[in-house]
Homo-oligomer: A and B are copies of this chain.
Amino acid sequence: MGDITVSAPGKVILHGEHAVVYGKVAIAASLNLRTYLRMRRGTDNLISLDLPNIAIKKSWTTDGIKSQVSLPLCDPNKPVGVSGELLTKLKDIAGVDQHESDTKQLAVITFLYLYCALAAHKGTLPAIGLKVVSVQPVSAGLGSSASFSVCLAASLLQLSGIISSPAGDEVWSEAERDLINSWAFFGEKILHGNPSGIDNSVSTYGGAIKFKSGKITPLCRVPKLQILLVNTGVPRSTKVLVARCRERYQKYPDIIEPVLKSIEAISHRCEEVLAELADSPSTDLYETLEDLIDINQHHLGALCVNHPALEEIVRTAAKYGLHAKLTGAGGGGCAFIFIKPDTPLTTLADIKSEFASQKLSCWETSVGSPGVTAHSGDDGHLKQLFS
C-alpha cells in the first residue's frame, strides 16, 4: 500500500453564533483552509505522530500499545466513544496528565483512540507514521481540531479497508462519510468534552449546514463564496463570551429575545439566498448577503460579544465598500469579509496590504468548498506541504 493523503476543511459560522445557544438556527459553512494528513507505512513496528503546527512529535511501539490495550476494541462500523477506563490507559501511554485539558495534548489521545479502534480493529497493529499539517490558524474557532479528527478517521478507516480508497481528489460515498463523521465526532468528544457536532459535520460533508437544537441538516445547494478571513490575534474564551451573552440575556430578556429572533430570521434568509445563488448568481443576491452580514454584526454588538479589534476590521472593510462580521464566539478571534465576484482585484490587494500594515494575518479563501477529500500523494503542492 502506498501513502494515504487526505484533507478536511475548517468551518466558519456564517450566521447564528450565540443565538444557537438559545435554540435558534445557525448556519455554518466549510472553510477552505484545510488540514492535511499524510499516512505512511511504518517500519520497525513504530507508530509515530508528527503535528508540526502544535509542536508535537511522538512515537510508540506497536508492542507497547498491544501490551496495555485489549484489542480489538469494537466494531469499526459501529462508532462509539472512548470508555473512562480506556481513556485513563491512553493518557498513560501518551504520557499525558489525567487532568489535562489542553487540546494540543488531548489531540494525541484522540489519535491513539482512533488508531486502536480503527487501524487495529482486527487485533493486529499496523506500523504507521502520520504527519498532520494545517494551513488554518489553530485555536481560532475555525474548527481545526474537528478537521484533525476527520482526517484521522478518514485515513485510519481507509487503512483498514473499512471505507474505500478513492483515486486522488475524490470524496467518499454518503455512507462512508457518515461513518467518518461519526468517528470524528467521538474524536472531538475527547478534545472538547461536549462538542455540538457542527464542526466535524461541516468538515466531513463540506458545503454548509444548518444547526438547530442539536439537529444538523446539510444545505442542499451551496455556492462557493470568496471571503477574506482576518484574525484579530486577540485571544478569546468561548466560555467567557457565552457567559457574557447569557448575562445580558438574563438582565434584559425582553430586549435580547427579539434580537435572537432577528438573528434566526437572518439565518433563514441566508439559507434561502445560498440556494438561490447556487441556481443563478445575481448582484441582488450578493447584496442581500452583505446586508445580512451588516445586520448580524450589529446584533452581535448588541449581544456584547464584539471587540474593538473586530470593529476595526469591519470599519476597514467598509472603507473598501466591503462587508464583514465576526465569526464564532467573538470578543476577539476572527472576522470574515465577504468578497463579491465583481470585487476588483486591486481592492483585494489594497485591503490585504492594509491588514498587513496593521500586522493582522488574513487569508484569501472560500467557504462552501468540499468536505473530507482523498488526495493523490503525487500532488506537488502536497509534497511541499509535507516536506
Taking Cβ atoms with an 8 Å cutoff, the residues of A that contact B are: 248, 251-252, 254-256, 258-259, 261-262, 265-266, 268-269, 288, 291-292, 294-295, 298-299, 301-302, 304, 308, 311, 315, 318
Contacts and interface: CB of A to CB of B under 8 A. Distances in A.
A258 B255 contact: no
Given A251-B288, A308-B318, 4 more contacts: A248-B291, A258-B265, A259-B259, A259-B262
A269 B254 contact: yes
B295 A252 contact: yes
A304 to B, nearest CB: 8
Contacts of A261: 258
B291 A298 contact: no
A255 B265 contact: yes
Contact of A254 (B251, B265, B304): B265
Contacts of A292: 255
A295 B291 contact: no
A311 B297 CA distance: 14
Nearest to A266: B255
Nearest to A312: B315
Contacts of A268: 254
A294 B256 CA distance: 13
12 contacts: A251-B288, A252-B291, A252-B295, A254-B269, A255-B262, A255-B265, A255-B295, A258-B258, A262-B302, A294-B301, A298-B299, A298-B301
A248 B262 CA distance: 13
A306 to B, nearest CB: 9
A304 B318 CA distance: 13
A244 B294 CA distance: 15
Contacts of A265: 252, 254-255, 258
A222 to B, nearest CB: 21
A380 B209 CA distance: 71
A269 B315 CA distance: 31
A244 B268 CA distance: 23
B298 A269 contact: no
A308 B311 CA distance: 12
Contact of A269 (B252, B266, B304): B252
Contacts of A266: 255
A248 B292 CA distance: 11
Nearest to A255: B265
A267 to B, nearest CB: 10
Contact of A302 (B252, B255, B295, B318): B295
A291 to B, nearest CB: 7
A313 to B, nearest CB: 14
